[in-house]
Structure formats: structure tokens, C-alpha cells
Amino acid sequence: MTYDPDNIFAKILRDEIPCIKVYEDDLTLAFMDIMPQAEGHTLVIPKTEAQDLFNLEPDMASALIRTTQKVAKAVKKGLKPKGVMLAQLNGAAAGQSVFHIHFHIIPRQGGIDLTLHARDQADMSKIQEIAEKIKAALE
């Protein structure tokens, strides 16, 4: 499979589709998942064309994991979950639905099940409120 430049994350990187940004640097972007599995579900992507881990240059992989760690720490500090789950899926059989490599940062609370991914859009004002807590924890 070749990289599809019309995938939703590529469109977000080109500012063709809006997102609620949490963090951005020259190599990566972190933003809120609008169809979250849990409150605070955040996505981290590289600013390069790579459909999965196997197509990502090592330097970009390093940048991606650095940003993922930085944002995950902010999610933990800002939202105070009992735990934080990281997920990175490669290929449709693994559950990947957007073929631009990305990490999911999912805050977990004891006794609260994850919702099904990419099923229902959450309230955007609530997502924005949560994003502000994460951004404040980055500072």
C-alpha cells in the first residue's frame, strides 16, 4: 500500500480540516481525537508521509516518540487519570483506520470501559475544555 495524501491526518497537516491542537513543533503535531475512546484521548502524528511504523524514517520515529512522551506526561499531569494507555496500530488487521502513522494517548480511569473508537463524535466544547487542561500542563 502506498501513502494516501488525502487521508484525514494529511488534510489536518495542510490545514484543510480543523483540529483542536494540544502541541506542535517542526516535526510533530498532537491534537484531540474528536471521536474519543475516553475523555482526553489525544493523537500524535509526524509531519511526514508515512503510513505506518515500517515506513517511518528513524529520525522521525524518534521525534514522534519524544512528542508522544511529552504529551502523555501532560495528559497525566493535567487530567490526573489512574493510568495512561498508549496505542500504535500498523495495518487494517491491527485496527489502523487512518493510514498515517500515529500514537493514541488514552487516559484510563478504573472501572470505566473504553468506548468504541471512531463511532460517535464527542461534544466539541468539552473536548476544547480538556485540551486546555493538557496544554496548561505542558507549560
DSSP 36-86: -SSTT-EEEEESS--SSGGGS-HHHHHHHHHHHHHHHHHHHHHH--SEEEE
118 pLDDT band (50/70/90 cuts)? low
Q: Which domain holds residue 44?
A: 8-138
Count of domains for the chain:
1
Flag whether 2 is in a domain: no
Flag whether 84 is in a domain: yes
CATH number at residue 84: 3.30.428.10
Flag whether 32 is in a domain: yes
Q: Which residues are tagged catalytic?
A: 102
The model carries a pTM of 0.94
Q: Per-residue pLDDT tens for 7-47?
A: 999 999 999 999 999 999 999 999 999 999 999 999 999 99
Flag whether 3 is in a domain: no
